[in-house]
Chains A and B, each alone.
With several copies, the nearest count.
Chain A
Amino acid sequence: MFTLQSGPVDTVNARQQLIHPGCGGYCSFEGWVRDHHEGRSVDKLIYEAYAPLALREGQTVIDEAVQRFEIEAARCVHRTGELAVGELAVWVGVAAAHRDAAFAASRYIIDEIKTRVPIWKNEFYTDGTSAWVNCAACAATADDNQSRRAV
C-alpha cells in the first residue's frame, strides 16, 4: 500500500501493519530531511505531490515489488507539505520470510519511488534562496536564474 500524508508518519503503526507470523525478515527504509544538500545548508523543504497520479504510480511500484521479490507485504508512506530538518519524508517497510527479499524489495521501492512518482521537493536554504530539486539542474541548461530564485 502506498499513501501520501500531510502530517507526521506514525512509523510504529505502519510497521505493525506488516507483522505476519510467516515472516522472519523485516527491512525498513526512512528518508529524513538532511541539513545539507550538494554543499548547501538546508533550512526546511516542501514536498508537493500530483496526488491522483502519485498514488496510482506509488501503488504500481509496491505491486511490482510484491511480484518481483519473495515478500509477504510492503508499504510506503510519503509526506507532503512543509518539513523541517530531521523530519521523516518517506517510509518504506517490507516483511518477508527471508532477509534477501526484504532488503531487495525495500531498495527497489525507494529507488522507484524517487524516480517515477510525481512528487517534487522544494528546498529552502539558510541563505534565503530555494530550488526545486532535480529541476534546477535541468533548467540550468536553459536559464539558471529561473531555477534559483530569491524566496
Chain B
Amino acid sequence: MQIEIEYFALLREEAGCASETIELQQPTPAAVYACLNERHAFSLPAARLRVAVNDRFTEWNTQLDDGDRVVFIPPVAGG
C-alpha cells in the first residue's frame, strides 16, 4: 500500500523534504516510522512523537489504508 508522509519542523529538516510516499505491506504508523527512520536517521525516537492520520490524532498500531496521509508530530511549542 502507498502511504503519504508529510513532515513538519525538525522532522522536515531531517528528512530534507516536506513530504514523500512509501510502499509498505500491512502498514501501521509505527512500521512507517521505523522504515523512514532507517532512511533518514531522525534524532527523535518514536516515543517522543505523536502521530496523525488524515489530520486526526491516531494510535501507533492503527492499520493504515492505501493513500492515507501520515504526519509524525514532534513535541509542540506553540504560544
Binding site for B on A (CB under 8 A): 31, 47-50, 52-54, 56-57, 78, 89-90, 110, 113-122, 132-135, 138-139, 141-143, 146-147
List residues of B (50-79) whose CB comes within 8 Å of A's CBs. 52, 55-57, 71, 73-79
Main SS of the interface on chain A? mixed
- Chain A contacts of B9 at CB under 8 A? 48, 120, 122, 132, 135
- A52, A53, A110, A135: the one within 8 Å of B75 (CB): A135
Q: How would residues 4 to 27 of chain B score, 1 for a CB under 8 Å from any chain A CB and 0 otherwise?
A: 001011101010000000000000
Smallest CB gap from A114: residue in B: B79
Query: Are A120 and B76 touching (Cβ within 8 A)?
Result: yes
Q: How far is the CB of B49 from chain A (nearest CB, A)?
A: 9
* A132 and B56 contact, Cβ closer than 8 Å, known pairs A114-B77, A117-B76: no
Query: Are A139 and B76 touching (Cβ within 8 A)?
Result: no
> Once bound together, how far apart are the Cα atoms of A139 and B8, in whole Å?
15
* A138 and B76 contact, Cβ closer than 8 Å, known pairs A132-B10, A146-B43: no
- B14, B73, B75: the one within 8 Å of A146 (CB): B14
- B44, B71, B76: the one within 8 Å of A142 (CB): B44
> Once bound together, how far apart are the Cα atoms of A16 and B44, in whole Å?
40
- Chain B contacts of A138 at CB under 8 A? 44, 48, 74-75
Query: Are A56 and B10 touching (Cβ within 8 A)?
Result: no
